[in-house]
Amino acid sequence: MKLALNEKLAYGGAIFVVVLLIGMVGDMDYQDELAEEQFYCEQVNGGHWPDYKNIGAEVCNDSGKR
């Protein structure tokens, strides 16, 4: 079965859109993780939370930012 040029472009475009969306979702997930880590560090360094994850010495500095 031979595909017409328009069909090839449509399939290629659909694959491009799917890959683009996966990349965007992955980046949003990464940004959410960074924001969560920053909030955790702010709470630990502010004395509001104990360092229950035991990562404060490695991940958080004195200002609570990475």
Q: Give the ranges where 1-66 is alpha helix by DSSP (H).
A: 5-45, 56-59
pLDDT for the residue 65:
45
Q: Taking a C-beta distance cutoff of 8 angstroms, is the pair 33, 66 a contact?
A: no
Please state, as a whole number, how many other Cβ atoms lie within 10 Å of the Cβ of residue 41. Answer: 22
Average pLDDT over residues 7-18: 94
* Short-list 32, 35, 53, 34, CA closest to 44: 53
pLDDT for the residue 4:
84
Greater model confidence, 46 or 1: 46
Q: Which two structure tokens, joined as six digits, stand for 44?
A: 């630990």
pLDDT (tens digit, 9 = 90+) per residue, 22-64?
999 999 999 999 999 999 999 999 999 999 999 888 998 754 4
pLDDT for the residue 45:
93
* Total-model pTM: 0.67
